[in-house]
Amino acid sequence: MSRDDHGHDGKRRRIEPLADRHGSALPAELSLPALLHMALSAHASSSSHLQQVFIPKDIQTVGDYDSLTGNTGVRYRSDPEAAAKSFALLLFALDLLHIGLRSTTASDAERVAFAQEFATVAIKVATAWRKLADAMSRSSDQSHKLALSMLLLELDAEMQVVDKLALLDAMEGQDVFSQWLHLVRLHLLFAHRRWDLVPKYIAMKEKESGLWNSYYRLHLLLYQTLWYGRLGDDASVKKTHKEMYLAIDRFSDPALSTDIRRQGAVFKVSRIAMRGGIIIQSTPLNELYLLTYLASVVTRRDFLGTSSSCKSLVLPAQMEAFRYHARSGDMWDTDFSSYHSLADAAQLYSRVLKIRVETLLEQVSALMYRSEIAQAHQSLGLATDMARTNGIFAELAPHFCLTRGQYCHLFGKDQLAQDSYRAAKTLLRTQSELGLIVDIGALGASRRLLRLDATLVAEITTLADRCRNSSNASLEAYGHFLGSLIDRNRVGSKKKLSNAYEVSQRANNNVLRCLIFAFTTSVHLYGTADRTIRQLETGRELARLMGGRDRPDGVGQLALGLWFAQKLKVHHRREGNMEAHAAAKADQERHQETLRHLRLAS
């Protein structure tokens, strides 16, 4: 028999209704209105503990956060027993409602009132118990997730139902509901990777001003920045980032954001065809802040600059700086309404942690490319511990395996890298884009590129074609680059390399630009010596900017920096420029010394 964290049995006790004990009628002192009032009060009291359930008990409050009030008007105080209290109050309310439903003296109107409240509370109890059972079991059984995924996949690809609802709503003049359906459509398109349909629906549908429109606008900007980042349109990404941060700054005004936080981002929409309207659960503000950070890092993987200016390092650092503190307008600043359940608080907590873990993995990638290996190891360990402790590691396992593979590959531990890539591959759907990235990494770690044969050329050709056919700009660029590696026709190889460079420059992919410069100056030696040296110097500077400005030796991206230093030394010696040759030789020695230290540390 399963037990919860407080030793209680998993089975709820059987309640003998008072109506059975006292005959067909309730005792006079326990009237049906009083019974319903007690149940409603217990239900409301259960909701008052949800903020304490969401915020971990080891979180400290700073500033004026502990003076903020929730929707109940009660100041926040940490309570490690909040989940147990909230669940017990729900069970108490359910028992009271059960008694009322069993009463033989209840009128039809009273039965309807009891039944409606019973259904609401029962759903909350069921979802809360399922969440608690999942947390206690820590099982690897993903069958329920698979069932939900299959259910979603049964949706019509064009999602005409959303169009029909939007049409009905437009006829009634309800812009809010139409905008909400627009967000639902985009969510489904992104979730199902229907990139062919996204351009048709990515445009903004601003029809009115006000609080909801500001909320809708921020959501659309998040989708747009993800879309432009996928297309490799860095200019549009930067523009959208500015609009996104201006939009989120609007919610820093307490007069605008207090009600949203107190209600847990629940919006009420009145509709002519629906008595009482509908309730829309939007993204809570604290989660929107975190999503803005994550989207900013994912859509512009710019690893240049100092550690204080590189966004891939600054934004994760800002998020983690106060991970153990609750501050006004930060990741733990939200409350819940009577519409929410214990499961909602637990799910929001999991989503916040998942965003933090994903942002940490982006930080690990940036640190690795910038050769800050000790910090990368620390951040990877923190992300791994956080994911395992909170039961979200299985969901992010492919990303962890890929990151670990890249980490091992960087140190030349090729067998460990291949094992990690192989593990990632087994966890991914066939033909997935992340699987393409894993395949490219595994190809590099195998060292098979050093000895091309017909079988390998055919394999790389297939991989390059799949990458080029993707709407993801980074994959498209890598597809052209891989194609240039195996094209024995000098003109064809050069053309593919030019295409890769054009895409990488438009997308601001500096790592790939460095790789292209390295390949160009080793294989396609065309033009004057000055041209070759300029390409080498540009590549060296890009490699140096990836962390080198933070270190006295000026070493940035280690592998590429070492390559360019060695090539520059050879070229300057060939041209008779001994002063430049000496500088390049010293640069090469600094990179080799850094490499020795890293190998010893690993």
Tell me the per-residue pLDDT of 406-418, one tens digit each, with 9 for 90 and over.
999 887 888 999 9
* Residues 456, 461: Cα–Cα separation, whole Å: 8
Better-predicted residue by pLDDT, 481 or 324: 481
Q: Is 172 left (phi over 0), alpha (psi -120 to 50) or beta?
A: alpha
User: What is the 8-class DSSP label of residue 296?
Assistant: H
Better-predicted residue by pLDDT, 298 or 28: 298
* Residues 343, 350: Cα–Cα separation, whole Å: 10
Residue-wise pLDDT tens digits, 369-413: 998 888 999 999 999 999 998 889 999 999 999 999 999 988 788
- Output phi, psi for 481, to 5 deg: -65, -45
Residue-wise pLDDT tens digits, 282-297: 899 999 999 999 999 9
285-299 helix and 342-369 helix, angle to the nearest 10 degrees? 20
β-bridge mates for residue 325, sequence order: 60
Q: Is the pLDDT of residue 535 over 90?
A: no
Question: Confidence band (pLDDT; 50, 70, 90) for 144?
Answer: very low
Residue 351 has a CB neighbour count (10 Å cut-off) of 16
Alpha-helical regions (H) of 310-453: 311-321, 342-369, 373-389, 393-410, 414-426, 433-445
Residue-wise pLDDT tens digits, 122-133: 888 888 777 655
Please, what's the b/e burial string for 369-382 (b: 16 or more CB within 10 A of its CB; e: otherwise)? bbbbbebbbebbeb
pLDDT at 102: 86
Residue-wise pLDDT tens digits, 48-95: 888 888 888 777 765 555 545 555 556 677 788 888 899 999 999 999
Average pLDDT over residues 238-261: 86
Question: Confidence band (pLDDT; 50, 70, 90) for 167?
Answer: low
Q: Is the pLDDT of residue 8 over 90?
A: no
Average pLDDT over residues 158-164: 51
Please, what's the b/e burial string for 279-303 (b: 16 or more CB within 10 A of its CB; e: otherwise)? ebebbbbbbbbbbbbbbbbbbbbbb
Q: Is the pLDDT of residue 528 over 60?
A: yes
Q: Are 196 and 171 in contact (CB under 8 A)?
A: no
* Residues 90, 85: Cα–Cα separation, whole Å: 9
Average pLDDT over residues 528-550: 85
Q: Is the pLDDT of residue 188 over 80?
A: yes
Cβ neighbourhood burial of 458 (10 Å; 0-12, 13-18, 19+): exposed
pLDDT at 142: 42
Q: What's 147-205 look like in SS3?
A: HHHHHHHCCCCCCHHHHHHHHHHHHHCCHHHHHHHHHHHHHHHHHCCCCCCHHHHCCCC
* Residues 484, 480: Cα–Cα separation, whole Å: 6
Q: Say which residues have a Cβ less than 8 Å from residue 405's Cβ, sequence separation at least 6.
A: 417, 418, 419, 420, 421, 424, 438, 441, 442, 445
- Output phi, psi for 325, to 5 deg: -130, 145
Better-predicted residue by pLDDT, 556 or 4: 556
Antiparallel, parallel or unpaired: β 325-326 and 274-281: unpaired
Give me the chain's average pLDDT, please.
Answer: 82
CA distance readout (Å), 133 to 129, 147, 343: 6, 18, 11
* Residues 12, 524: Cα–Cα separation, whole Å: 74
Express the helix, strand and coil content of the chain in percent, nearest 5 each.
Answer: 70, 5, 30
Question: Confidence band (pLDDT; 50, 70, 90) for 423?
Answer: very high
Q: What is the pTM of this model?
A: 0.82
CA distance readout (Å), 427 to 134, 401, 437: 21, 9, 13
Q: Is 174 left (phi over 0), alpha (psi -120 to 50) or beta?
A: beta
3-state class of 265 per DSSP?
Answer: coil
Q: Is the pLDDT of residue 497 over 50?
A: yes
Least confident stretch, 247-251, 395-399, 596-600: 596-600
Average pLDDT over residues 362-372: 92
Amino acid in position 509: N
3-state class of 14 per DSSP?
Answer: coil
pLDDT at 151: 39
pLDDT at 288: 92
Better-predicted residue by pLDDT, 260 or 85: 85
Better-predicted residue by pLDDT, 156 or 109: 109
User: What is the 8-class DSSP label of residue 10?
Assistant: S
* Residues 334, 347: Cα–Cα separation, whole Å: 13
Average pLDDT over residues 480-505: 90
Q: Which two tokens stand for residue 414?
A: 């090729």
Average pLDDT over residues 292-320: 90
3-state class of 363 per DSSP?
Answer: helix
Q: Which of 484, 424, 426 is nearest to 452 (CA)?
A: 484
